Amino acid sequence: MLEKIIRRTFPGGIHPGDFKNQTKDKPIAPAPLPKEVVLPISQHIGAPAKPVVAKGDKVKKGQMVADAGGFVSAPVHASISGTVIAVEPRPHALGQKVMSIIIQSDGEDAWLDGLLGDCDADALTPVQIREKVQAAGIVGLGGAAFPTHVKLSPPANKPVDSVIINAVECEPFLTCDHRLMLERTSDVVAGLRLIMRALNAKRGYIAVEANKMDAFEKLREAAKPYDDVSMMLMEVKYPQGAELQLIEAVLGKQVPSGALPMEVGACVQNVGTTVAIYDACRYNKPLIERCLTVTGNGAGKPANLLVRLGTPIAGLMELCEASAEVNKLVLGGPMMGIAQSTSDVSVIKGTSGVLLMRSAHDFSDFQPCIRCGRCVEHCPMRLVPSDLSIICEAGRVEEMQASGIMDCKECGSCAYVCPARRPIVHWVKLGKAQLAKLKAKQPAKKPT
pLDDT given at position 447: 53
What whole-number distance in Å separates Cα of residue 423 and Cα of residue 412? 9
- Place 6 in a pLDDT band, splitting at 50, 70 and 90: low
**How many angstroms separate the CA atoms of 173 and 9, rounded?**
21
Which pLDDT value is given to residue 446?
Answer: 58
pLDDT-derived band at 65 (thresholds 50, 70, 90) equals very high
pLDDT (tens digit, 9 = 90+) per residue, 387-411?
999 999 999 988 988 888 999 999 9
Contact 411, 238 (CB under 8 A): yes
Domain with residues 2-25+119-283, CATH architecture = 3-Layer(aba) Sandwich (3.40)
Supply the pLDDT for residue 193: 98
Give the model's pLDDT for residue 3: 42
CB atoms within 10 A of CB 175: 29
**Tens of pLDDT, residues 313-364:** 999 999 999 999 999 999 999 999 999 999 999 999 999 999 999 976 666 7
pLDDT for res 1: 41
Instruction: Report the distance separating Cα 324 and Cα 358, nearest Å.
Output: 9
Q: Where are the domains of the chain?
A: 2-25+119-283, 366-441
Query: Which of helix, strand or coil describes residue 76?
Result: strand
Residues 135/136/140/144 CA torsion (nearest 10 deg): 70
| Cα 140 from Cα 273, distance rounded (Å) | 6
Q: Report the alpha-carbon distance of residue 1 to residue 261 in Å, rounded.
A: 26
d(CA 6, CA 207): 10
| pLDDT for res 403 | 87
Integer Cα distance of 175 and 232 in angstroms: 19
* Span 251-257, average pLDDT: 95
The reported pLDDT for the residue numbered 5 is 58
Cα radius of gyration (the chain): 22
pTM: 0.94
Give the integer Cα–Cα distance in Å for 48 and 370: 43
The Cα–Cα gap between 375 and 415 comes to 7
Closest Cα partner for 369 from 384, 354, 358? Answer: 384
Q: Are 152 and 132 in contact (CB under 8 A)?
A: no
Give the pLDDT mean for 141-162: 94
How sure is the predictor about 2, in pLDDT bands with cuts at 50, 70 and 90? very low
Residues in CB range of 159: below 8 A, 6 or more apart: 200, 265
| pLDDT value, residue 365 | 81
Question: Is residue 7's pLDDT more than 80?
Answer: no
Looking at residue 39, its amino acid is: L
Question: For the chain, what percent of residues have pLDDT higher than 90?
Answer: 88
Contact 346, 38 (CB under 8 A): yes
Beta bridge partners of 231: 206
**Which pLDDT band, with edges at 50, 70 and 90, does 444 fall under?**
low
Q: Is the pLDDT of residue 239 over 60?
A: yes
Phi, psi of 4 (to 5 degrees): -90, -5
Task: Determine the Cα–Cα distance for residues 345 and 290; give it in Å rounded to an integer.
Answer: 16
Same CATH topology for 2-25+119-283 and 366-441: the answer is no
Cis amide linkage into residue 91, ω under 30° from 0: no
- Nearest-angstrom CA–CA distance, 412 and 186: 33
Class in CATH terms, 366-441: mainly alpha
- What DSSP line would sit under 228-259, residue for residue? TEEEEEEPS-BTTTSHHHHHHHHH---PPTT-
What CA–CA distance (Å, rounded) separates 264 from 280?
Answer: 28
Q: What is the dihedral of CA 389, 411, 291, 250, to 10 degrees?
A: 160
State the helix-helix crossing angle for 424-441 and 385-394, rounded to 10 degrees.
Answer: 60
